[in-house]
Each structure stands twice: as C-alpha cells, then as structure tokens.
Amino acid sequence: MPGHGRCPLSFLVSLRAGMLNISTPEATMNNDHYIRILSEIAKLAQIAGENKFKVRAFENAARALENLTDPIATHLEAGTITNISGVGKSLAEDIQQIHDTGTCDYHTHLLETLDPGLLDILNIQGLGPKRVKVIYDALGVSNLDAMEEAAKAHRIQELPGLGKKTEERILSEIERLRSHAGRTPLPQARRVAEGIRDKLAALDCVDRIEIAGSIRRERETIGDIDLLVTTTEPAKVTQALVELTEVAEVLASGDTKTSVRLHNGIQLDLRVVQAQVFGSALHYFTGSKDHHIALRTRAKRQGLKISEYGVFAIDSDTAIASQTEAALYKALDLPFIPPELRQGFTEIELAAENRLPELITAEDIRGDLHMHTTETDGRASILEMAEAAKELGYSYIAITDHSQAVTVANGMTAERFEAHIQKIRAANKEIDNFEILSGIEVDILKDGSLDMDHDLLRECDWVVASVHSHFRMETKAMTERLLSAMETGLVSEMGHPTGRILGGRDGYTYDFNAIVEAAVEYGIALEINGSTGRLDLNAELARKAHTLGAKLVLGSDAHSTRGLHALRYALGQARRAGLTANDVLNTLDAPALLASVRPKLG
Ligand code: DGT
Ligand code: CA
Ligand code: CA
Ligand code: ZN
C-alpha cells in the first residue's frame, strides 16, 4: 500500500475544535488528499488577507489536480508534475511536501497564525471564505463554538453582507455538523476495516477474524471499527496490529482487547475470543444494542439468558448455544436474523412469525445502471467499463454520462449525446454475452425540465434523472420541480433521490411521499446510489419507498472501473431496508428491466 499518508495536523485540529472532520481514508491515499490541502490553503489564505493572485494560484492548482486521472505520486516520481497547467515550481514543492509529510509548511503556517478551528467553520455549507473572513475580522470568531455563540447573540446579522437567514442557517448547520461529529461514512470505514482484517488474517496464528459492530450491520455511518479474532497467540496478533502503518496511537492494550486510533482518526477495537464462543461473541459485538435488548426480553420469557459467552438457562452456567449465531437464534426458537436487520425494529417479531424477508444478495444483481465514462467525468471508456462489469458477473450495464448543465463534469450537449449513443451501440457489438444499454444521467433543471432533447431521451435505453444544482428550494417548489421531470414519462429512474452528501450536505427538501407516488404512477424506479459519499436513498428512505409501492434500482455511480464495486454499498442499504430481489429491478434480465419502466414509451 502506498504510504498510508497522514494528515496529523488536520486531525489534531479537528479534535481541538471538539469535532472530528469526516476525513476520507481514501483521501489519505489518493489525489483527494492533495486537493483538500491545496483548497484549504486557498481558503485560509483568503481569510488571512493574502493577495488574490496567491489565493488563485492554489485554487487553480487544486482544480488542475481534480481533473487529473492518474495518481499525483506518479507525476512526482516521474518529475512531470510541473507539466500540469497551473502547477509551477513553488506549487510543485508544496505538493512534494504533502506527499512526504501529509501537509506542507504554508498550510501549517496558516493554521498556526489563524486558528485551526476555521477549518470547521469552513465546513458550514453556504459560508465561503469571503464571509468567514468578514465574521473573523469583525468578531474574531475562529471556531464553531464561538460561531454558535455569535449567531445566538444575533451578532452575525449585523455584519455587512450577512443577514438573519444566514444566521439561522449557520445555527442549523452547526447542529448538523455536530450530529455527524466523530462518525465516518460506512464505505470509507469498511474499506479501512477490510484492509486491516485482511492483513491480520494473513498471520499464521490467526484462525478466524471478522468485522462486527455497525459496519457488519451496514449502518450508514460508523463510530468505530470492531474486529473479533480467534488465535492461539493473542500477543502476536496484538503486536502485529499496533505495528500496522495505519495505526497512529495505541489507546489501550490488554489480554483480550486492544484499542488503537488510526491515522485517519478512526478508532479500532480488536477483541480476542475463544473459538467455542465465537458465535455468541460475534453476535454480541455486532449489536445493535436495541436488537440485544429486544432479544434479551424475549429470552427472559423463555427462561433463558444471553451473554457474549452464549445462551444459558437462567439458573445455569452451561451454554446451550455459543459456537455459531445460527445456533444462538435456534436456541431462542428463531430463524437466523441477518445482521443488517438487527435494528431493534420489528425483526424479532417477524422472525418469530417466520416472516423475515429473504434479503437480496449480490448474486441476485444482474447489472449496474449508473456510471460515467471518459465522455464526461469518468476515467474509463465504455468498453472498459463493460468488461469490468462483465468480470464482476453482471450481464448488462447502462452507460449514463452527464448532460450539459453539469459543466464541471463536461456534460454532453445533444450533439455529443447523439454521437455517444452511437458509440455505446458500437461498443455493444464488441462484447459478447453482455448488453451495454445506452443511457444518460440527465439533469433536472431548476424549472423541472430535462436537460436534453426529448427525442434522444426517448431513443436511448435508460434515463437517470438527477438534481445537481439549485438544491435550496422551498419544499413545494422542489416537489413541483421533480414532478415536472417525472411527468415527461421519459425517466427510467430518479438518481440519488435526496441529493444528500453523507457527512456533508443534507438532501434537498421535498414531499417524499408525493414523489414516491409519482414514481409508482409513471413507472420510475428510485435509485439506491452506492457511491462513497452518498448512500442515497439510504436504508430508511428505501424502506419507506418500498412500503409505498415503489421499485428500487441499485447504482454504483462509478467514475472508474474500480468504482463499480460501490454497488455493494447500495446493496447493503437495500438489505438493511429489508428488500428482496423482487423489490429491486436490476435483478431482472435486460428486457424485463426495460419493460418495467417508462410504460408510456411502450
Ligand atoms: P458505532 O461503533 O457507534 O457505529 O456502533 P456499534 O454498534 O458498532 O457500537 P460499539 O462499537 O459501541 O459496540 C459494538 C457492539 O457491541 C454493539 O453494537 C453492541 C455491543 N455492545 C457494546 N457495548 C455494549 C453494552 O454496554 N451493552 C450491550 N448490550 N451491548 C454492547
Ligand atoms: Ca463500532
Ligand atoms: Ca467499538
Ligand atoms: Zn449524479
């Protein structure tokens, strides 16, 4: 693994402000990390009152790196970094420093002379560096607590260019940021957890190692990583763990439990358990707490008790079941309840009545319906995406590049889309036993119209309709906006239906029930988008949509062949929502899939 780069400073900074930025672990390994540091510099420099050319230099460099398709490290090694337009000699030095140390002197200097808490303030949606500077200069507000105080005392609305509305939004944003504090989006946490699990699993002395806790339950954000291991040599496993490059700090270490903090700020607990009680330990440390409470109540009525060591008769120390989770549930006279359903919701009742849904599995999925190629902001060609998808066992994909409203993603004009449909059809002829559907992710414009010629939308196979701009509309206007797009009869699916960014931005507000009803009426599927920052719909809303009669589709929203793997996160939310293969349209073959949407097109 390339140096599990670190951002110790930003990490400390966030802790100091009493709140952990949800820093992306991938960001520590790929271009995102460099981009983040450079754009932080641009913002901080602006607040520091640096001249605008200097600010712009960092903004431009960050933007240039965003458009880069290959790793920055490769350019540093090859000495080609200054060939990138916008990256001069001095910026190249900063980038090299970020590569070597995770940060650079200028970034550190800005944080020291200003206040690291400003980074948290800059996370407030809708408050750019310009306005942060106004507040900072006038009131000395440099961290979230001070910002909250100032907003509550109505001192913000008195400042030039700021008003009552902004002040209110600042307060609600601070609340939202705090509710996310210390939690990491599931996809990022899972990737880290699996990486560490695999490294430890490779040790000879490890018999078995499993991820438990909220990750196993597919909860959309996670507080910490829980690993369970059975081993003949606990000390050796602990040693191997604390020596991993990912580990920043050992928080506690004992015979059966070791806790560490990783460089990306996530805490990890490793517990050593005996093989004969692995099932009950796995069950215990998988949770959820609410599931446990409900289960214990049931056990009590049956004259039983449950602990991490097994199921026991109330007056006995001899376990009735402990080796597997299935045995544990059996002892309670229940079928196995999948971890994703262990929410303390209705799963125990359903299980007792043998009415648990048969959850959709990875094997049920026949295709992926949302992805981008080099035509817009993706990194792979149509055929490369198709071949990678075929490799994953799918029998079809839809290529859904952006429409022109998304200028930052190089969205397609009608002319380009028309040609692109032809290219997709040509690529489809190049690949056997596999179907490449021609599609688009068309923008739903502010007025609710679709950002593409209707004849072309009719002509292509799969239309994902999404909102990428004007998020802050009144509930009623946003509902009407979505409805007008849906009423065209041209839409196959609503892409990332709420627009929320996990740990970032709340979704736009609209009448969810009305949109689900319209989806049923017009034959439109609702997406569960698995891409790292989204999980949209999430499990809760997917369940609601399903209850109201809508069909769901899973999409990876991949921008590279590797991105196709993100479908698993959509699958996780689908399972957590209690969905079966029947509820999800991309479990159908391509003809049946196409026949189940856009009925008006026949
Ligand atoms: P998280 O880490 O906040 O995303 O959520 P979990 O569910 O992973 O919670 P965590 O890491 O505190 O503990 C893992 C599991 O261990 C939890 O789901 C249930 C179990 N557990 C931990 N502490 C307790 C406890 O005090 N009582 C009970 N009943 N279960 C516990
Ligand atoms: Ca946990
Ligand atoms: Ca834990
Ligand atoms: Zn999109």
First to last CA, the chain: 51
- State the Cα–Cα distance between residues 462 and 460, nearest whole angstrom: 6
- Answer whether residue 448 shows pLDDT above 90: yes
Across 532-538, average pLDDT = 94
Q: How far apart are CA 569 and CA 529, in angstroms?
A: 8
**In the predicted model, what is the mean pLDDT of the chain?**
91
CB of residue 218 inside a 6 A radius of ligand 1: no
Helix ranges restricted to H, 392-527: 414-429, 454-459, 475-487, 512-522
Tell me, in angstroms, the distance from the centre of ligand 3 to residue 194's CA. Answer: 15
Q: Which domains does the chain have, with CATH numbers?
A: 9-179 (1.10.150.110), 184-272 (3.30.460.10), 278-352 (3.30.210.10), 362-601 (3.20.20.140)
Q: For residue 398, is pLDDT > 80?
A: yes
**Residue of 256, 261, 289 to test ligand 1 pocket, by largest number of atoms within 8 Å of CB:** 289
Lowest mean pLDDT among 115-124, 190-199, 222-231, 393-402: 115-124
- Alpha-carbon distance of 387 to 562, in angstroms, equals 12
Residue 229: Cβ within 10 Å count: 24
- Identity at 356, one-letter amino acid code: L
Mean pLDDT value of segment 55-80: 89
Amino acid at 303: G
State CA 219 to chain mean position distance: 11
Range of lowest pLDDT (159-173, 343-357, 409-423): 159-173
Which segment of 417-426, 461-470, 499-508 scores lowest on mean pLDDT? 499-508
pLDDT at 92: 95
- When pLDDT is averaged across residues 544-570 and rounded to a whole number, the result is 97
Q: Please tell me the number of the ligand nearest to residue 223's CA.
A: 1
Predicted confidence at residue 30, as pLDDT, reads 65
**Structure confidence at residue 27 (pLDDT):** 31
4: pLDDT strictly greater than 60:
no
Cβ of 213 closer than 6 Å to ligand 1, yes or no, is: yes
Residue range 116-155, pLDDT digits in tens: 889 889 888 778 899 999 999 999 998 889 999 999 999 9
Between CA 394 and CA 363 the distance in angstroms is 9
Contact 406, 414 (CB under 8 A): no
Mutate which of 180, 285, 296, 342 for ligand 1 pocket (most atoms within 8 A of beta carbon):
285
For residue 128, count other CB atoms closer than 10 A to its CB.
Answer: 12
- The answer to whether residues 81 and 87 touch, using CB atoms and an 8 Å cutoff, is yes
Q: Is 96 in the pocket of ligand 1 (CB under 6 A)?
A: no
User: Do 120 and 17 form a contact (C-beta atoms < 8 A)?
Assistant: yes
pLDDT tens digits for range 260-282:
998 878 999 999 999 999 999 99
Query: What is the structure's pLDDT at 152?
Result: 95
Which long-range contacts does 473-482 make (Cβ < 8 Å, 24+ apart)?
473/446, 473/508, 475/509, 475/510, 475/511, 476/511, 478/508, 478/509, 478/510, 479/510, 479/511, 479/514, 479/515, 480/448, 481/444, 481/446, 481/447, 481/448, 481/510, 482/444, 482/448, 482/510, 482/515, 482/518
Residue type, 176: R
Pick the atom of ligand 1 nearest to 213's CA: 8
In this prediction, residue 502 carries a pLDDT of 87
Least confident stretch, 167-171, 217-221, 595-599: 167-171
Report the C-alpha gap between 50 and 55 in whole angstroms.
7
**Is the pLDDT reported for residue 596 higher than 60?**
yes
Model confidence at 355: pLDDT above 90:
yes
Compute the average pLDDT of residues 73-102: 91
Give residue 466 CA to ligand 4 midpoint distance, Å.
Answer: 6
Q: What is the pLDDT of residue 10?
A: 35
Share of the chain above pLDDT 90, in %: 78
The structure tokens listed for 93 are 């030095």
Q: Report the run of H or E that residue 8 belongs to, with start and end.
A: helix 8-16
Interval between CA 113 and ligand 1 midpoint (Å) = 40
- Both tokens assigned to 433: 């036993």
How much is the average pLDDT of 71-92?
91
222 lines ligand 1 (CB under 6 A): yes
Report the separation in Å between the CA atom of 281 and the middle of ligand 1, taken as the mean of its atom positions. 12
Residues near 383 by beta carbon (within 8 Å), at least 6 away in sequence: 427, 430, 431
pLDDT at 16: 28
Angle (deg, nearest 10), helices 89-101 and 31-47:
120
What does the H/E/C string look like for 391-409?
A: HCCCCEEEEEEEECCCHHH
Beta-sheet pairing, 493-494 with 525-529:
parallel
Whether ligand 1 lies within 6 angstroms of the CB of 224 is answered as yes
- What is the spatial distance between Cα 432 and Cα 199, in angstroms, rounded to a whole number? 37
Label each residue of 458-473 as H, E or C: HHCCEEEEECCCCCCC
pLDDT recorded at residue 14:
33
Question: Which one-letter DSSP state was computed for residue 410?
Answer: T
pLDDT of 25 > 70? The answer is no
- Contact in structure between 145 and 124 (CB atoms under 8 Å): no
Residue having the nearest C-alpha atom to atom 31 of ligand 1: 289
pLDDT recorded at residue 602? 66
Q: Residue 435 pairs with which residues in a beta bridge?
A: 396
Integer Cα distance of 158 and 14 in angstroms: 28
What is the CA angle 151-154-160, rounded to 5? 95
- In this structure, what DSSP letter does residue 264 have? T
Q: What is the CA(467)–ligand 2 centre distance, in A?
A: 33
Please check the confidence at residue 499 and state whether its pLDDT lies above 90: yes
Q: Is the CB of 220 under 6 A from ligand 1?
A: no
φ, ψ at 512 (rounded to 5°): -60, -45
Output the residue whose Cα is nearest ligand 1's atom 25: 289
What is the residue with the minimal CA distance to atom 10 of ligand 1? 213
**Integer angstrom CA distances of residue 513 from 360, 520, 522:** 24, 11, 14
Burial 448-458 (b: 16+ CB within 10 A, else e): bebbbbeebbe
Atom of ligand 1 nearest to the CA of 219: 4
Phi, psi (rounded to 5 degrees) for 286: -85, -30
Q: Which of 179, 214, 217, 218, when mutated, tests ligand 1's pocket best, judged by the most ligand atoms within 8 Å of its CB?
A: 214
Residue 240 has pLDDT above 90, yes or no: yes
Contact 250, 260 (CB under 8 A): yes
Token pair for residue 282? 């796995």
Q: How far is the CA of 224 from the centre of ligand 1 (A)?
A: 9
Report the amino acid identity of residue 102.
Answer: G
Q: Which residues pair with 269 in a beta bridge?
A: 226, 259
The protein residue with its alpha carbon nearest to ligand 1, atom 3, reads: 223
Per-residue pLDDT band at 8 (split at 50, 70, 90): very low
Q: What is the pLDDT of residues 367-378, one digit of tens each?
A: 999 999 999 999
3-state SS of 95-127 is HHHHHHHCCCHHHHHHHHHCCCHHHHHHCCCCC
Q: Please state, in angstroms and rounded to a whole number, the distance separating the CA atoms of residues 169 and 474.
A: 14
Please, are residues 558 and 564 in contact by the beta-carbon 8 Å criterion?
yes
